[in-house]
A and B are shown apart, each in its own frame.
Chain A
């Protein structure tokens, strides 16, 4: 029984979860192995309904835990086909072991990570602690700031991850509820255009090729483990960025939508700037525009490709600025924010005089308001005018109680 295609409208009203599910449908994923968890459940439910309605031909395996979900994805990917899943927060934490196994085994799998706070205290709302938890797991990580991007980046993720020179799994992040449950107007590709962009899956070392048996997931100790890990990092640093560029360029040709490793807003003559991820990027852009009207030369940088981290793009974009705030939506646990550290790492050993400060915000779904950002830009301008940090390097914003500042 052949599956049915969908005639999509030029503009569809989808939330981020449904946008991701539609992208998986159009990519004609062969196996989805998944387990439900708020707020990513609707990705899986949406895909399961497509299966029930004969809109996809692949297998949907509803397993008994997130660890099993990724384990099933790994087995399916090693067998030789297109594989995807979705999770969030605690589910990702349970899955964490297998994330390292998937990347170490060089298996392309697309994981929709709908960002949600990690317990305790238990919380279902957005922050980026789950994204940060697996930042060193060897996965490529994209970040969507809205539902359109969640859709687009899913298609791009298959294209990049499945490239035979890459063969790495890809996380597509979107903010829990803020993106995943917020319906917006989207411009989807047609089913044919989307599938043609992603392309037919080309197996490599597939377990279902019985003429060429392969052992997957072998043991290496001190004699070879380091070389394997080094090779993986070298490929991630040397090969992946150009492959992402190629995919972004091709996607722009068919969609008109241009993606970059970092997304710059009003940065050409900016003196102060906010660097952040997720839905906060759009809020910051709106506030930056308003700050311009007040005479503050404000810009915004959103991190589109979190792994491999775009160090050179960042240092180039920030080197001539006067003051930069890095926003981290995760409890730093006795350190600077994870994104702050990456930005600082991008600027060290350069001649830049830019003043860097870090802000911890929005934990557990706490709103980042425009007022927070107005105050923040004002503080940045004061730092710029003084030529030095007038605050401590790390501040918490939007939290009750006396002002919290450190470092």
Chain B
């Protein structure tokens, strides 16, 4: 186990040694780059990183350039998790055999993927990595849509969102199904640590990333990543949207230790109505028509129920 990096304040945090360069092709206002920097800046240890095909990958490693000043690999859409698990296995093997070039290092193995490559096409690969309990962290940059390919629904897209493959129209309110609960699913692999994080709550984020990097075994992190392009909000409002997501409890922040011990890590002082979160995004605009307003009520009921469920689990310590 390596020493945990001490971080005093946001200024120091945001200007600490940066292994993700500012030169990349992500949209202005994209939360992906903010989350990635927060994760990478949480540690001084060496990193072996992977990205599945998606916004982060296509915008950060276009030959002959790279935004990554750390070991990095991309294979395909579904297998960023397994790429890192293979590298982690090689690390173990070379450590056993005494062939590591820098045997004194404590590298962290981290894979990033969007919700499309995580909730959908790469689901089985992540499950395999979690079940095998590799010493690695998998982080979903969850923007609830296939953003890289122009806004198709994924199984993370929430009810009522208009996506290009589940568009709102004269007889449709868009996506019909509820979002998959990935944190619960991955925690059910009884991995040592899983958590939900948000870029606006950076102290909570750092604490969880550092905890995750220092446990032995597989870690799953779901990070809400407001998408200016597909959620349809002004690029300057990314952090506002992140605030709305956590303070409306649409994205509650919590952690699950060893697959069962749930701790809520952020309790908003003033809980924002879900309606405000929805109203801030173009993808939900049609829900404010009279015939679909019932869906907004259902949204609030669902979010309230989930918050109550999380609190019950926390209290029961199960």
Q: Chain A: residues with CB nearer than 8 A to chain B?
A: 30-31, 33, 57-59, 61-65, 67-68, 71-81, 83, 97-98, 101, 105, 203, 206-211, 213-221, 224, 228
Contacts and interface: CB of A to CB of B under 8 A. Distances in A.
A220 B71 CA distance: 19
Contacts of A78: 73, 83, 86-87
B107 A208 contact: yes
B124 interface: yes
Contact of A81 (B50, B76, B93): B93
A61 B86 contact: yes
Q: Quick one: which of A74, A81, A215 has the most chain B CB within 10 A?
A: A215
B90 A208 contact: yes
B62 A218 contact: yes
A67 B123 CA distance: 13
Interface residues on B, range: 35 or more
8 contacts: A58-B97, A59-B89, A68-B82, A75-B90, A76-B87, A203-B101, A208-B48, A210-B46
Interface stretch (B126-134, B139-147, B178-186, B302-310): B126-134
Given A57-B97, A209-B101, A210-B107, A30 B90 contact: yes
A208 B50 contact: no
A274 to B, nearest CB: 40
Contact of A213 (B69, B96, B97, B131): B69
B295 interface: no
Given A63-B128, A71-B83, A213 B71 contact: yes
B207 interface: no
A75 B93 CA distance: 13
Interface string B78-102: 1100111111111111101101111
B60 to A, nearest CB: 8
Given A61-B89, A83-B90, A207-B71, 14 more contacts: A31-B86, A57-B93, A61-B85, A64-B127, A67-B78, A68-B128, A72-B83, A74-B79, A75-B86, A79-B90, A208-B90, A209-B102, A216-B72, A219-B63
B66 A218 contact: yes
Contact of B73 (A31, A64, A209, A217): A217
Given A30-B94, A76-B89, A215-B66, A64 B107 contact: no
| Residue in B89, B90, B125 whose Cβ sees the most chain A Cβ within 10 Å | B90
Chain A CB count within 10 A is highest, among B66, B73, B86, for B86
Contacts of B68: 213, 215
Contacts of B75: 71, 74-75, 98, 101, 105, 217
A72 B85 contact: yes
A75 B72 contact: no
B38 interface: no
A148 to B, nearest CB: 29
A230 to B, nearest CB: 14
Contacts of B82: 63, 68, 71-72, 75
A218 B86 contact: no
Nearest to A224: B63
B83 A215 contact: no
Contacts of B100: 208
A203 B93 CA distance: 14
A98 B96 CA distance: 28
Nearest to B82: A71
Contacts of B125: 64-65, 67-68, 71
A73 to B, nearest CB: 6
A313 B13 CA distance: 64
Given A67-B79, A209-B102, A210-B46, A217 B86 contact: no
B257 interface: no
B97 A30 contact: yes
B73 A216 contact: yes
Contacts of A203: 101
Interface in B49-80: 50, 57-58, 61-64, 66, 68-76, 78-79
Contact of B71 (A68, A74, A210): A210
Contact of B48 (A73, A83, A207, A221): A207
Among all A-B residue pairs, the 4 with the closest Cβ atoms: A75-B86, A79-B90, A71-B79, A72-B86
B86 A79 contact: yes
B73 A207 contact: yes
Nearest to B68: A215
Contact of B90 (A80, A98, A215): A80
A228 to B, nearest CB: 8
B105 interface: yes
Contacts of A105: 75
Contact of B124 (A31, A65, A217, A224): A65
